[in-house]
């Protein structure tokens, strides 16, 4: 047994049934060199991917592809730069995969596609790591160690994980140039940033202003409005009502509401709406008088748990009459500092009745509207004079707020409330859950803070932004048309400065009073003032440079701020080329990009800054086409979290299933339509099981059957013309489907619709593996003759080859594996032959083979088969059980003609003995039922009336409804969701006749029990058991073995014996080879595998043996004259030869065996044969 597989492999010969002698067949095995390399039956995709990576490295595949495409039309792609201070996650892998698919396809369409990786090197992600390392808590700590040392610490960790990034990106099959990457911290890149900024400055688009900005206290810097929009969270905050004592009246107070108690020490005014109504009410118990908005009085009462009867209403008056009323501040910290106009009631139309008391407390240092209103009423000046701003850059109170100095403002909320309560100034103390902005980097709550900052005008170019956006193509389009468009329409001026250290410095040198400003736009320009060579533009290396004033203001010094890192990444298209200092013509000829892609979160990030800067500088959009992907979430729908470990590690997925499986899983999901993907390992696993393994098995089947064909004396060669000339219906169909797919993929990729492309590719794979291969297996095995086998194999080859080329961008590894073997059949110089599938151009589709009639016919056949399969499933009768007939109802003559042409496939697929066609539909009736869950509330009291009316609908009315999709019943419009149609057959009361239907056809399967069909079912089980035993023995289809079966005498084996006796030929047909009666075994055979199976109450014993000499006992006995010893000697003599040697000797004539003193002449196919299948006496 241990040596049996070797014996089998050394004695393979092709299928029996060919006219040639067995000797010729065996010799052919030795002489023919197979076109294809043998492939394992159980592939390890991760291991094969690792081998492919080594192969790509050996041939320098990516760079070689660029060398081959040099001189072709450029396809421009921009890759947004990630930070290398963290490891890549599924979001990066997804975006990288989309970019890789599109750019690989562009290469295959005849473009030269430069793909450079980039790194975002500046900003908070880097500084945050250093702050933690050096225990930096604020600006003072940075200045203490020195900006130079701080920045150099930052530089040292910028590329912390670049090695890991490269490993992961390359492991997932992405081709991109890491060796020629760009970095935002490089001198050339930063110089181009300065050039871009100077363009804006020279156009008057840069200004400095004192504004209230969203401010991150964790980062000690303001944020732009689009950064603020990226991270809102539902959080609880204080909800308090406080009373301000009026100065003009005793025991009189003004009620104001706030969710930010920490802003109350900085209060400078109270604002009412000039037209809203306000009440003066008096508390009957305390005698205190309150001013409060009429529209919010009931809310105040419910909050403080009082009733109207507890108060007297003294007066109702408009807000305009309250203006000017003075009041005492809650805290005394700024009584000597504030302007005389502070602490009075003012008015403005922004006050609403949506919340609070209709009286809004004003702290101009911490609210945009507060600032505007206080400037408007002269409480503070536009330059900030008169403002109180007691919060430092880290969000802590300074020494002016003596009671809470050093406390972070959010921490101080509780102490402030306690103090107000102790003074009787806290009327209500509650909590409110609301949507509040958080820092997108540190995840801490933002505050709003008045600061001076540098801005780029955006509001002035809103129309241009919208116009340029309209000129771009987004997938999906709704992100462009809604989310992005709405953002552009409301675009605000961009705060481009950051109070940080590690970043590209703003190139502005100013006088002390900011009246004189010089903007530097190049290194050369700066060197004129510096008097030295500039090799680095970071602030610690240039901040010492001064510029002489032309206005007599002494020396101009550089402002302290650095650029918002979004400006750096948004100017990437020209900065990575060092434009305009280098590559000027190249950039200008190839701008804008044909393609970019990132996640949905970049709508208000990179996409926005690209568009703003490109519109300002070039007056055109920065890209033509954009794919927006959704977010990749954990399987439970939550954000992926390393701490929670709620998602599988990407490397683990590669090791288990391979990168291709992850790529296809993501590309064939809603995430490429900007919808979220709940990442599940089972989804990746299913890709391997449902797509890769069937695909690989179809490829392996081609290799096996081609090898068998060549061993039979044929020579396989790729021949597309043979496929095109084929008269076989299924050949024409799968060829048409393939060229239809080629056309579709080209068109859809031109539209950047990945979500349609991958689905179509997998659909063809399904048609190939589950329909074409299964229905043409016998043809490819030669059962219809060598010419038909050759044509079918060529067809399968052409489909697999084209599919491999089309799928290469999506699954670069498995396609390379399959292609390198398939390419062996292509002649040198063939358009599809190359050293890698990724060097092959996508073929053009052949319109001549797009036979719509054949495509329609097979689709119709498939629909009938699917109806039959579903019917079997409902009846719980498997496909192994043959059925008498299928009755098909369809009134379309063309439909019936198509099914008749493909009847043999329907019968084979559904295992039915006959098809019966009925074109008349008089036997079929429609019935309608209301969808009560949907209609319950809609119909109300008319329900019974509508039910009765539906029962009375005629067949004509129902047919019309089925066609049109709507009908009015008792005044109610019903559609196909609310009125459900079912079909039935008149007088179909036989439980063995089961109907099923779709919009076009009805099928009835006849499940009536039949003795002969029952035998066939047993025969199918027998064939299934034998095939299983062959699989366990790890046999190949052409292994030289014989199979035997016998019924073991047991009780209850009558059914099995009956089937084996009467349906042995049917078993052979199912096995596509002979199953010999076990009683014919002669005892000398070498057993490969033996097993007993229980089949329908009986026991079947199955043997698989190595093919060897098979003896004609009657003729040998006659030859030796009944001498038993001589007969044994003859048998042993023949068994001493290997099968191929014995076959050679047979060709030379009779064998002469000398036994004792006698010589016997042994004639091939008279006295012996090469296995039972070669024995004419058994035929």
Q: Is the pTM of this model over 0.85?
A: no
Q: Given 602, 812, 1039, 1174, which residue is catalytic? A: 602
Instruction: Of 709, 854, 875, 858, give the one whose Cα is nearest residue 788.
Output: 709
Residue 600, token pair as written in the block: 């949905």
**How many whole angstroms separate alpha carbon 691 and alpha carbon 711?**
30
Tell me the H-state helices in 605-649: 606-618
Tens digits of per-residue pLDDT, 327-379? 999 998 988 887 788 999 999 988 998 889 999 999 998 888 898 899 889 89
**Stretch (H or E) spanning 1046:** strand 1041-1048
**Which pair of tokens denotes residue 192?**
């181009």
Concatenated DSSP letters for 489-508? HT---EE-EES-SSSPBP-E
Show the tokens assigned to 892.
Answer: 């379309």
Which residue's entry shows tokens 């023995």? Answer: 1033
Query: Can you tell me the mean pLDDT for 1067-1075?
Result: 90
Measured distance CA(503)–CA(501) in Å, rounded: 6
One of 335, 482, 639, 725 is an active-site residue; which one?
A: 639
Contacts 24+ apart (CB under 8 A), 1111-1120: 1111/1082, 1111/1167, 1111/1168, 1112/1166, 1112/1167, 1112/1168, 1112/1169, 1112/1175, 1112/1177, 1113/1082, 1114/1177, 1115/1166, 1115/1167, 1115/1177, 1116/1167, 1116/1168, 1119/1160, 1119/1161, 1119/1162, 1119/1167, 1120/1155, 1120/1160
Looking at the DSSP assignment, which residues form a beta bridge with residue 912? Answer: 883
What does residue 853 show for φ and ψ, rounded to 5 degrees?
-65, -40
Q: 485 vs 465, 477, 595, 604, CA distance in Å?
A: 9, 11, 19, 11
User: Which pLDDT tens digit goes with each residue over 738-760?
Assistant: 999 999 999 999 999 998 998 89
Dihedral angle, C-alpha 731, 737, 740, 746, nearest 10 °: -110
Residues 505-514 have pLDDT tens digits of 999 999 998 9
pLDDT at 46 over 90: yes
- Site of tokens 């890549």: 88
Number of H helices, E strands in the chain: 46, 42
Reference 326, options 313, 336, 341, 309; nearest CA is 341
Q: Is 917 exposed, middle or buried (0-12, 13-18, 19+ CB in 10 A)?
A: middle
User: What angle is formed at CA 155 by the lines to CA 154 and CA 156, rounded to 5 degrees?
Assistant: 90
pLDDT given for residue 226 in this prediction: 59
pLDDT on residue 11: 37
User: Which of the residues 606, 695, 997, 1044 is marked catalytic?
Assistant: 606
31 versus 1064: the higher-pLDDT residue is 1064
Q: Is 108 a catalytic residue?
A: no
Catalytic residue (one of 638, 642, 900, 1154) = 642
393 or 822, which is more confident: 822
CB atoms within 10 A of CB 630: 21
Q: How far apart are the first and last CA of the chain?
A: 30
Between CA 1117 and CA 1167 the distance in angstroms is 9
User: Per this entry, what is the length of the chain?
Assistant: 1179
Q: Using CA atoms in the order 48, 52, 55, 59, what is the torsion angle rounded to 10 degrees?
A: 160
Considering only CA atoms, which of 1116, 1139, 1140 is closest in space to residue 1128? 1116
Catalytic residue among 14, 43, 46, 81: 81
pLDDT in tens, 480-490: 999 999 999 99
DSSP 1097: T
The verdict on whether 81 is a catalytic residue reads: yes
**Which of 120, 186, 413, 1140 is labelled catalytic?**
120
pLDDT(28) > 60: no
Q: Is the pLDDT of residue 26 over 60?
A: no
Dihedral angle sign, alpha carbons of residues 834, 835, 837, 839: negative
719 is catalytic: no
- Check if 602 is active-site: yes
What is residue 272's three-state secondary structure? strand
Neighbours of 1065 (CB within 10 A): 10
Cβ atoms of 203 and 526 closer than 8 Å: no
What pLDDT score does 1152 carry?
A: 93
Backbone angles phi, psi at 331, to 5 degrees: -125, 145
The per-residue pLDDT for range 154-166, each reduced to its tens digit, is: 999 988 888 999 9
The two tokens of residue 8 are 């089998």
In the chain, % helix, strand, coil (3-state, to 5) comes to 45, 20, 35
What is the pLDDT confidence band of residue 469, given thresholds at 50, 70 and 90? Answer: very high
| 243-269: burial string, b at 16+ Cβ within 10 Å, e else | bbbbeeeeebbbbbbbbbbbbbbbbbb
Annotation says 809 is catalytic: no
Give the three-class secondary structure for 219. coil
Using one digit for the tens of pLDDT, what is the confidence trace for 498-534?
888 999 999 999 999 899 999 999 999 999 999 999 9
What pLDDT, on the 0 to 100 scale, is given for residue 29? 42
Residue ranges of alpha helices (H) inside 158-221 are: 162-171, 187-202
Tell me what the pLDDT averaged over the chain comes to: 89
224-281 tens-digit pLDDT = 665 777 688 888 889 999 999 999 999 999 999 999 999 999 999 999 999 999 999 9
**How confident is the model at residue 643, as a pLDDT?**
66
Mean pLDDT of 184-192: 97
Phi and psi at 72, nearest 5°, equal -80, 165
Alpha helix stretches (DSSP H) within 378-479:
409-422, 462-470, 477-478
- DSSP 8-state secondary structure symbol assigned to residue 8: H
Residue 15 has pLDDT above 50, yes or no: no
Contact 42, 688 (CB under 8 A): no
pLDDT > 50? residue 22: no
Q: Kindly report the backbone phi and psi dihedral angles of residue 1099, in degrees, each rounded to the nearest multiple of 5, phi listed first.
A: -120, 125
- Is the distance from CB of 499 to CB of 561 less than 8 angstroms? yes
| pLDDT top residue among 358 and 972 | 358
Position 987 confidence tier, pLDDT thresholds 50, 70, 90: low
pLDDT in tens, 871-905: 999 999 988 889 999 999 898 899 999 999 999 99
């Amino acid at each position: 047994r241990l040596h049996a597989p070797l014996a089998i492999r050394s004695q393979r010969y092709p299928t029996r049934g060919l006219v040639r002698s067995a000797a010729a067949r065996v010799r052919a095995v030795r002489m023919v060199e197979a076109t294809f390399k043998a492939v394992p039956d159980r592939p390890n995709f991760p291991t094969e991917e690792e081998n492919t990576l080594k192969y790509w490295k050996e041939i320098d595949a990516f760079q070689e592809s660029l060398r081959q495409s040099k001189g072709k039309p450029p396809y421009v792609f921009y890759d947004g730069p990630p930070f290398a201070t963290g490891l890549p996650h599924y979001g990066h892998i997804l975006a990288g995969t989309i970019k890789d698919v599109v750019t690989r396809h562009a290469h295959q369409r005849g473009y030269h596609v430069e793909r450079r990786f980039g790194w975002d090197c500046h900003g908070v992600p880097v500084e945050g790591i250093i702050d933690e390392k050096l225990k930096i808590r604020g600006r003072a700590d940075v200045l203490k160690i020195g900006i130079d040392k701080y920045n150099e610490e930052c530089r040292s960790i910028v590329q912390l994980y670049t090695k890991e990034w490269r490993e992961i990106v390359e492991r997932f099959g992405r081709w991109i140039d890491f060796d020629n990457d760009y970095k935002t911290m490089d001198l050339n890149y930063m110089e181009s940033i300065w050039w871009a900024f100077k363009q804006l400055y020279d156009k008057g688009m840069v200004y400095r202003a004192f504004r209230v900005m969203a401010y991150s206290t964790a980062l000690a810097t303001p944020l732009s409005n689009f950064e603020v929009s990226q991270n809102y969270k539902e959080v609880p905050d204080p909800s308090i009502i406080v009373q301000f004592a009026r100065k003009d009246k005793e025991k009189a107070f003004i009620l104001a509401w706030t969710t930010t108690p920490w802003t109350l020490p900085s209060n400078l005014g109270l604002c009412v709406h000039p037209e809203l109504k306000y009440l003066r009410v008096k508390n009957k118990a305390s005698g205190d008088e309150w001013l409060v908005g009429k529209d919010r009085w009931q809310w105040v009462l419910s909050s403080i748990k009082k009733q109207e009867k507890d108060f007297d209403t003294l007066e109702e008056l408009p807000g305009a009459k309250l203006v000017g009323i003075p009041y005492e501040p809650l805290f005394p910290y700024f009584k000597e500092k504030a302007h005389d106009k502070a602490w009075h009631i003012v008015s403005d139309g922004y006050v609403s009745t949506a919340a609070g008391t209709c009286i809004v407390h004003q702290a101009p240092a911490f609210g945009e509207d507060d600032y505007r209103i206080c400037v408007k009423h002269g409480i503070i000046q536009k330059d900030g004079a008169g403002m109180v701003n007691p919060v430092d850059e880290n969000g802590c109170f300074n020494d002016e707020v003596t009671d809470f100095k050093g406390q972070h403002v959010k921490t101080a909320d509780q102490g402030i409330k306690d103090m107000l309560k102790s003074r009787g100034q806290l009327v209500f103390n509650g909590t409110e859950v609301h949507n509040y902005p958080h820092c997108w980097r540190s995840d801490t709550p933002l505050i709003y803070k008045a600061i001076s900052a540098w801005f780029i005008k955006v509001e002035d170019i809103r129309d241009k932004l919208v116009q340029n956006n309209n000129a771009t193509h987004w997938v999906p389009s709704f992100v462009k048309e809604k989310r992005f468009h709405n953002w552009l329409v409301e675009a605000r001026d961009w705060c481009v400065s950051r109070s940080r250290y590690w970043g590209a410095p703003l190139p502005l040198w100013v006088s002390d009073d900011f009246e004189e400003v010089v903007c530097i736009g190049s290194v050369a320009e700066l060197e004129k003032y510096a008097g030295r060579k500039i090799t680095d533009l970071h602030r610690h290396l240039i901040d010492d440079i001064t510029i002489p004033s032309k206005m007599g203001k002494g020396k101009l010094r550089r402002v302290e701020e650095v650029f918002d890192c979004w400006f750096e990444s948004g100017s990437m298209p020209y900065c990575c080329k060092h434009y305009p200092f280098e590559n000027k013509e190249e950039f200008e000829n190839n701008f804008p990009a044909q393609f970019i892609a990132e996640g949905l979160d970049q709508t208000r990030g990179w996409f926005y800054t690209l568009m703003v800067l490109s519109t300002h500088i070039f007056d055109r959009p920065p890209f033509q086409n954009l794919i927006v992907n959704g977010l990749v979430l954990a399987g439970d729908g939550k954000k992926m979290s390393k701490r929670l470990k709620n998602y599988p590690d990407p490397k683990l997925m590669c090791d288990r299933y391979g990168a291709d499986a992850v790529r296809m899983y993501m590309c064939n999901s809603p995430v490429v339509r900007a919808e979220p993907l709940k990442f599940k390992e089972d989804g990746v696993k299913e890709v391997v099981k449902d797509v890769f393994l069937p695909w690989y098995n179809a490829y392996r089947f081609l290799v096996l059957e081609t090898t068998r064909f060549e061993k039979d004396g044929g020579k396989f060669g790729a021949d597309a013309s043979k496929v095109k000339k084929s008269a076989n219906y299924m050949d024409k169909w799968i060829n048409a489907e393939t060229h239809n797919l080629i056309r579709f993929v080209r068109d859809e990729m031109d539209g950047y619709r990945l979500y349609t492309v991958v689905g179509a590719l997998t659909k063809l794979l399904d048609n190939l593996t589950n329909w074409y291969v299964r229905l043409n297996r016998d043809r490819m095995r030669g059962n219809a003759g060598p010419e038909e086998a050759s044509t079918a194999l060529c067809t399968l080859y052409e489909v697999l080859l084209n599919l491999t080329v089309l799928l290469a961008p999506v699954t670069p590894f498995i396609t390379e594996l399959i292609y390198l073997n398939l390419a062996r059949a292509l002649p040198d110089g063939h358009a599809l032959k190359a050293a890698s599938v990724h060097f092959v151009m996508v073929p053009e589709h052949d319109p001549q083979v797009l036979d719509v009639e054949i495509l329609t016919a097979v689709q119709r056949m498939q629909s009938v088969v699917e109806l039959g399969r579903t019917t079997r499933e409902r009846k719980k009768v498997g496909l192994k059980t043959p059925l008498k007939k299928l009755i098909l109802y369809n009134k379309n003559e063309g439909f019936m003609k198509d099914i008749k042409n493909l009847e043999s496939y329907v019968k084979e697929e559904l295992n039915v003995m006959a098809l019966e066609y009925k074109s008349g539909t008089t036997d079929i009736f429609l019935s309608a039922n209301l969808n009560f869950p949907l209609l319950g509330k809609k119909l109300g009291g008319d329900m019974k009336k509508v039910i009765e009316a539906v029962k009375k609908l005629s067949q004509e009315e129902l047919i019309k409804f089925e066609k049109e999709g709507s009908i009015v019943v008792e005044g109610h419009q019903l559609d196909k969701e609310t009125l459900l149609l079912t079909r039935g057959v008149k007088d179909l009361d036989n439980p063995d006749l089961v109907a099923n239907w779709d919009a076009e056809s009805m099928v009835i399967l006849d499940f009536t029990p039949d003795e002969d069909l029952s035998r066939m079912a047993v025969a199918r089980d027998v064939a299934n058991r034998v095939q299983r035993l062959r699989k366990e023995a790890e046999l190949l289809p052409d292994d030289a073995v014989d199979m035997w079966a016998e019924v073991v005498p047991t009780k209850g084996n009558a059914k099995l014996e009956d089937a084996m006796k009467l349906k042995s030929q049917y078993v052979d047909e199912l096995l596509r080879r002979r199953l010999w009666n076990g009683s014919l075994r002669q005892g000398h055979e070498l057993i490969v595998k033996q097993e007993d199976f229980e089949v329908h109450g009986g026991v079947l014993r199955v043997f698989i043996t190595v093919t060897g000499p098979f003896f004609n006992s009657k003729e040998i006995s006659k030859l030796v004259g009944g001498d038993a010893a001589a007969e044994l000697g003859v048998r042993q003599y023949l068994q001493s030869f290997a099968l191929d040697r014995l076959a050679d000797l047979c060709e030379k004539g009779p064998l002469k065996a000398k036994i004792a003193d006698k010589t016997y002449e042994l004639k091939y196919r008279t006295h012996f044969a090469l296995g039972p299948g070669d024995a004419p006496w058994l035929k």
